[in-house]
A and B are shown apart, each in its own frame.
Chain A
């Protein structure tokens, strides 16, 4: 049975394909369109995923869509009731529950059956069916699905069942987004910056934050005196400004101690509320296993708190925990409901996206007149690249199929020596151009992870924040609070990346590399080898590795950089979204 999952028409659209219960392909539309968080029906991702799966559109048995359009419409209409029944101007032509099916037919060309699942069912399924657990409690936390913002449920042989939920507008995701906006960052995008800022501060506004939320048996409620999700300009009221006692930060303004403390406070509040939710979930579903997804599950600091302090022995977080990942969940759930339960194997490898065909990287470099060294084997390649990394080089590392999800995990990565205290600033200057407070993450050879990080479980998807073992000199990836968002790399899963880490370890004693996504700030992660070459030239990376081929910056003809700067110069994003759109 071939089942396609689709997540689209809101934020970061994506597609996933299951063939006979195996997840074989998944891709974000933004990687192809090069429009960050592209919400459009994922026509390019759909084509690419079918091609990767080796199936045709005529062979697709079922499409699963990641939300219930009518329920979503009800919530959208509710937002402006009772003043208007037709929404605000921003909703013009967007109140259309028939659009998903219409575009699946018209744009994807799929003419078979389509099943719709609720947004939180899709999230829950995306975690459960990738967890390898026979059964589990499931937690979904995001801004909002149709109505649900937090869902507690269970999953097992009978599928996924939501037992309780908290409903819009009471939302942990929106709470966090509101403070993200308050701190001058873009909502539905930059929440991770608040998480990164938090360790610099102290949660001295926690009391004020606590007043924003009322907890009760079965959930919580936002105090709507402080929030206004129907406002087109901002998500909060004057009462919040008064309560916090710190004026909102304008985008681009300096980050001050006050802002750090606000970030610390909202992070602390979030962790506290999440712990209460997982406690309640455990009472409802006394399983030792938790599956967790939704946009808030990308908050890896909170994830580690749930793992460390929560009641569940095993926790699986969906690596593509945001909306894109629910394409996986929608496909898995409708497949199960149609009688083809997805595999019971745990997802250990998210390299499910676009891969250049054999010979394409060589053809690109040859066609571009870029000298390269072909190192053929994993060992030779690893040794050569490790030598450059140990010498201080920053490397653009492009291998095989693209990762699905927001993290670069060794297929589309920028790598560097984590021992160099100056490396963070250097990479920020070279390519990332991002706020200095944001930490970079490490990748480590899995079998040696415990030597460097206080980590007792694998973390293949960079979704855990752990302490760096005291005495380890890894300043470029150690956050201000001594933590790191670590990725463990298993030799059986990604032998090439593991070999590189090992080779670096052989030279330096540290099988650890700084690993950040291969993109310029504000752009999607590179998808094709051409994207990688362009990013390499726009930034000032020292080395580019395309599959087996190594390119040193000094060898690249100047004409390429000049030409690229002429025809497609890099432009930093200038738009900051201060309001969460519900349309």
Chain B
């Protein structure tokens, strides 16, 4: 008993020593030092036996084939829709590995690069090749490594690597988090970003490519490397976040320069845009906003080579800060792939050249469905270049898919781009391409319109069902979003584009109250590894929301400006309607909002500029990384706990479906 009491007393003393933030950090360090077991998020070198991806390797008369193992539907959707793959017989086996670009995301499984490659190979050497599709949507580099590790069991003759877009977005090991924390602590956010490139990306890419080389050598397979391309000219990373951990004067100047830059861009004053981009880049070492604007301006001015360089810098600026961004192959990754191919004599298909608009050398948006996923024309080029590389014969591109299938892909692309905040013209381009395909495709556009205005979980919607039933790629793409409603899309440009193309939204039930916080979807909210808080954290100088209620009403806000001084303001369609005093603790405000002039009134909150304790913010971010949590490097301009519009008029409206005798109250 004495021994027990002594132990308890010791534990209590230890807890007193380690019970605060510093103690928790000390314990964490000691734990990391004590536990040298492999991090479960790290790579495993052990082959999985007779499995590759979700398939089992099975013996057959033509050599090893594949049979799909039991896997949940959500997992199956990430891989090729192939229950079985037969032996290769006397054909050369071409194994395609990679990420969502290799899957044909937004077109998969109806149109896939593997199928297009098989068709292209068959055109120039009928019956000589068997193309095996082992690409997986969303695969991380360490998971791709597991596929490569298991490849020899398939006896491949050719391995085609179409990957790199996911190589700048990883779940991090504790050691990597610590390395980033060290860099952030020592050199600030730029240092952290550099460390991410060196410690995380470079090491992983080198390790992966080395493994691929080893497997290729051991199995005798030849390797073809594809360098991915990004939709540089069309894609816009939104929101454009301010420079991380910046002092108030810098943020003020950044804000001002950004506003002037946007005005100059709208007006087409390109020389001014370039000058303002210089000013902005001087404030923001990360320069995403500046470089994107510069790239657009230089392109408009005809300096396409400089435009490409600027747009590539804008693309790459999003990586390394552990803020959510879409997949992309950075210059670092592209160069690593090129160097790997050159060093080992592997064949190379470089999409940065193959997908370029011959007039400008910039990537042609027509070959893309979003940031990096290829449209049918892009897939056709990829397949033709690969077939040419594999056979040594020239192969012309042949566009895959029926017009209806392609049109449905563009409807999905419009939806996907809208989710990710892209602007109206991009959405309009995809929907216009879809509508060209005929009445069936136009019906899908109408279904998307209906879905956006349904408040129900998507899986219950008839429009959703029609789209998913008609096209297997719609089923694949939409499945992940099926349990929620699409009402957040009403806060995107998609609602306006659909209204222009299709007409007014379908009538819905009256909604007396709009919860503008619940309706917001914002990529910056969901940091790469983090949890959403119970409030909406505004990392931009403004919060915008479409009201969908032209009658006005009372806007109830519960807000705070964690680092703000001075005052913000509330605007309706650009007209100031209230002043919001800065408040570091939560504060409520009821703002009368008058009727709007247009059908789609926009409410805007302009926050005061944060004036934060930067050393404290940096320390907090470092501590987060040490806990393997995402660091918050961007200062919150404002937090919204509530933003609710109580409409002045409650409009009881009949539903479109009330007319249907099969539906509704009987």
Does A367 contact B454, Cβ atoms closer than 8 Å?
A: yes
Does A58 contact B588, Cβ atoms closer than 8 Å?
A: yes
Question: Cβ of A102: which chain B residues have Cβ within 8 Å of it?
Answer: 21
CB distance from B457 to the nearest CB of A (A): 4
Does A81 contact B641, Cβ atoms closer than 8 Å?
A: no
Question: Cβ of B478: which chain A residues have Cβ within 8 Å of it?
Answer: 567
Does A106 contact B586, Cβ atoms closer than 8 Å?
A: no
CB distance from A267 to the nearest CB of B (A): 29
Top 9 closest pairs, chain A to chain B, by CB: A58-B586, A368-B460, A74-B15, A367-B456, A78-B11, A567-B482, A70-B19, A43-B534, A96-B24
Asked if A57 meets B28 with Cβ closer than 8 Å, knowing A82-B7, A369-B663, A567-B482, the reply is no
Report the separation of the CA atoms of residues A373 and B664 in the bound assembly, to the nearest whole angstrom: 8
Question: Cβ of B377: which chain A residues have Cβ within 8 Å of it?
Answer: none
A40 adjacent to chain B (CB < 8 Å): yes
Asked if A108 meets B12 with Cβ closer than 8 Å, knowing A92-B32, A371-B662, the reply is no
Report the separation of the CA atoms of residues A47 and B21 in the bound assembly, to the nearest whole angstrom: 27
Report the separation of the CA atoms of residues A86 and B27 in the bound assembly, to the nearest whole angstrom: 6
Does A78 contact B72, Cβ atoms closer than 8 Å?
A: no
CB distance from B580 to the nearest CB of A (A): 14
Question: Cβ of A493: which chain B residues have Cβ within 8 Å of it?
Answer: none
Binds B, one of A201-209, A253-261, A414-422, A557-565: A557-565
- Chain B, residues 237-248, CB within 8 Å of chain A (1/0): the string is 000000000000
A377 adjacent to chain B (CB < 8 Å): no
- Chain A, residues 365-409, CB within 8 Å of chain B (1/0): the string is 111111111100000000000000000000000000000000000
From A57, A147, A374, B586 is in contact (CB under 8 Å) with A57
A107 adjacent to chain B (CB < 8 Å): yes
Question: Cβ of B455: which chain A residues have Cβ within 8 Å of it?
Answer: 363, 367
Question: Cβ of B43: which chain A residues have Cβ within 8 Å of it?
Answer: none
A568 adjacent to chain B (CB < 8 Å): yes
- Chain A, residues 335-374, CB within 8 Å of chain B (1/0): the string is 0000000000000000000000001001111111111111
From A109, A366, A563, B655 is in contact (CB under 8 Å) with A366
Does B465 contact A559, Cβ atoms closer than 8 Å?
A: yes
Question: Cβ of A564: which chain B residues have Cβ within 8 Å of it?
Answer: 459
Residues of B within 8 A of A (CB-CB), count: 69
B547 adjacent to chain A (CB < 8 Å): no
CB distance from B452 to the nearest CB of A (A): 13
CB distance from B476 to the nearest CB of A (A): 10
Report the separation of the CA atoms of residues A344 and B588 in the bound assembly, to the nearest whole angstrom: 32
Asked if A111 meets B24 with Cβ closer than 8 Å, knowing A87-B31, A566-B468, the reply is no
Instruction: Kindly identify, within residues 539 to 583 of chain A, every residue whose CB is under 8 Å from any CB belonging to chain B.
Output: 549, 559-560, 563-564, 566-569, 571
From B23, B462, B475, B660, A97 is in contact (CB under 8 Å) with B23
Does A567 contact B627, Cβ atoms closer than 8 Å?
A: no
- Chain A, residues 33-66, CB within 8 Å of chain B (1/0): the string is 0000000110110110000000011100000000
Question: Cβ of B602: which chain A residues have Cβ within 8 Å of it?
Answer: none
Does A43 contact B456, Cβ atoms closer than 8 Å?
A: no
- Chain A, residues 148-187, CB within 8 Å of chain B (1/0): the string is 0000000000000000000100000000000000000000
B215 adjacent to chain A (CB < 8 Å): no
Which A positions have Cβ atoms within 8 angstroms of B? 40-41, 43-44, 46-47, 56-58, 69-71, 73-75, 77-78, 81-82, 84-87, 89, 91-93, 95-99, 102, 106-109, 111, 147, 167, 359, 362-374, 530, 533-534, 549, 559-560, 563-564, 566-569, 571
Question: Cβ of A365: which chain B residues have Cβ within 8 Å of it?
Answer: 664
From A40, A58, A73, A549, B585 is in contact (CB under 8 Å) with A58
Asked if A77 meets B531 with Cβ closer than 8 Å, knowing A58-B641, A95-B28, A367-B456, the reply is no
Does B657 contact A57, Cβ atoms closer than 8 Å?
A: no
Does A78 contact B8, Cβ atoms closer than 8 Å?
A: yes
CB distance from B162 to the nearest CB of A (A): 27
B639 adjacent to chain A (CB < 8 Å): yes
CB distance from A579 to the nearest CB of B (A): 17
Asked if A567 meets B483 with Cβ closer than 8 Å, knowing A43-B534, A109-B533, the reply is yes
Question: Cβ of A41: which chain B residues have Cβ within 8 Å of it?
Answer: 531
Question: Cβ of B32: which chain A residues have Cβ within 8 Å of it?
Answer: 92
- Please name 6 further chain A to chain B contacts, defined as beta carbons within 8 Å, in addition to the given A98-B20, A568-B483, sorted by A numbering: A58-B558, A73-B18, A82-B10, A98-B24, A364-B456, A534-B483
Question: Cβ of A71: which chain B residues have Cβ within 8 Å of it?
Answer: 12, 15
Closest residue on chain B to residue A359 by CB atoms: B509
Question: Cβ of A74: which chain B residues have Cβ within 8 Å of it?
Answer: 8, 11-12, 14-15
Instruction: Kindly identify, within residues 161 to 208 of chain B, every residue whose CB is under 8 Å from any CB belonging to chain A.
Output: 174
Residue among B32, B462, B658 facing the most chain A CB atoms (10 A cut-off): B462
Does A563 contact B468, Cβ atoms closer than 8 Å?
A: yes
Report the separation of the CA atoms of residues A373 and B627 in the bound assembly, to the nearest whole angstrom: 54
Does B24 contact A108, Cβ atoms closer than 8 Å?
A: no
24 pairs of residues in contact across A and B, judged by CB atoms under 8 Å: A43-B531, A58-B558, A58-B585, A70-B15, A78-B11, A92-B174, A95-B18, A95-B27, A97-B15, A97-B20, A98-B21, A109-B641, A111-B560, A167-B8, A363-B509, A366-B655, A366-B657, A367-B454, A367-B461, A371-B662, A534-B457, A563-B482, A567-B73, A568-B459
Report the separation of the CA atoms of residues A78 and B34 in the bound assembly, to the nearest whole angstrom: 17
CB distance from B445 to the nearest CB of A (A): 19
CB distance from B620 to the nearest CB of A (A): 9
Question: Cβ of B535: which chain A residues have Cβ within 8 Å of it?
Answer: 57, 109
Question: Cβ of B560: which chain A residues have Cβ within 8 Å of it?
Answer: 111
Report the separation of the CA atoms of residues A415 and B641 in the bound assembly, to the nearest whole angstrom: 38
Closest residue on chain A to residue B657 by CB atoms: A366
Does B482 contact A568, Cβ atoms closer than 8 Å?
A: yes
CB distance from A470 to the nearest CB of B (A): 45
